[in-house]
Amino acid sequence: MKLATFEKGGMQVVGIVDTEKKQILDLAAASGTNPAFASMLALIEAGPSALAEAKKLAGEWGSAAAQPLEGAKLLAPVPVPPQMRDASVYATHVKNAPRGMQRYLARKSQGEEAAAKIQAEPDVPPVYRQLPVYYITNRFSVAGPDTTVQWPRYSELMDFELEFGIYISKPAKNVSAANAKDHIFGYTIFNDFSARDQQIIEMQGRLGPTKGKSFDMGNAMGPWIVTPDELGDPQKMNVEVRVNGEVWAKNSTGEMLHTFEKMIEYISKDETLYPGEFIGSGTVGNCCGLEQDRFLKDGDTIELHVDKIGVLRNKVVRQK
């Protein structure tokens, strides 16, 4: 199933998306206001019985509770997740990103010729293979599809990152990777917008990104959640980035250093994960401007395409 949060009559409601019918079904209206369908988080917390009821309602597809998908204002699937963690499990990105940062610094201090000589790292630092490195990001700065993202005033280098990730379905603590699949509610696309010039300064402190990643609307997510039974193998999806319709990058979601199950195993060590928490994959290789040495401009529209999920589209504008 594809499950979305959308706006209806000034309220946030949860629906099932049928891309063939090109419609979205209001689950609360179709069910007679079942409290499990009050929000996406309520649906996740209600567990398998609520998902079964949603599937039943999708099979009946009451036209009175449905509306055209076109024109529906989709929001982030979980507008305010209980927690957000972002890992980095794609070796290509981990090797290429430092080159992009070093080129930026060299270009400023020594010029283009010096920047061009800087190459990617030969391999990832060993810790990236040992465990799924991650950081905690701002759960309140989530934006939905087709939202115009406000470029931070303190940044000149605005960038995108094509990622995808999971929502946790039920509490998880000390869960083994072998049992972690049952804790995955579904998948969505994640654009981890990044103020690169600010991030480059911060990363020299070796503590992780702060204002380089944390600003209002900086975490774009959507367009909906795809449940595991419909998505299948998350490492067998093609991805594509388009900026103003131009293809900037193509790749696949394969070759993750750690699966989402491994991430759950590691993160849940003596720490409880709760329903609705989000865990990102990190940037798929070559799917950000930093790796390509080119960045977004005022007014650019970015489309992240991920097979089996859909398209997450956002525009960036410079604040005056």
Domain residue extents for the chain: 2-75, 84-318
One-letter amino acid of 314:
N
- Please give the pLDDT value at position 85: 98
Positions in the chain short of pLDDT 50? none
**pLDDT given at position 206:** 77
pLDDT in the model for residue 33: 81
Q: Kindly list the distances between the CA atom of residue 190 and the CA atoms of 26, 95, 154, 273, in Å, as whole numbers in the listed order.
A: 24, 21, 23, 19
Instruction: State the fold for domain 84-318.
Output: Fumarylacetoacetate hydrolase; domain 2 (3.90.850)
Say if strands 194-195 and 158-159 run parallel, antiparallel, or are unpaired. Answer: antiparallel
- What pLDDT does 18 receive? 97
- Which residue intervals of the chain are DSSP H helices? 27-31, 40-46, 48-60, 91-109, 112-116, 126-130, 196-203, 228-231, 260-267, 289-292
| Long-range pairs for 68-71: beta carbons < 8 A, 24 or more residues apart | 68/22, 68/23, 68/24, 69/17, 69/18, 69/19, 69/22, 69/23, 69/24, 70/22
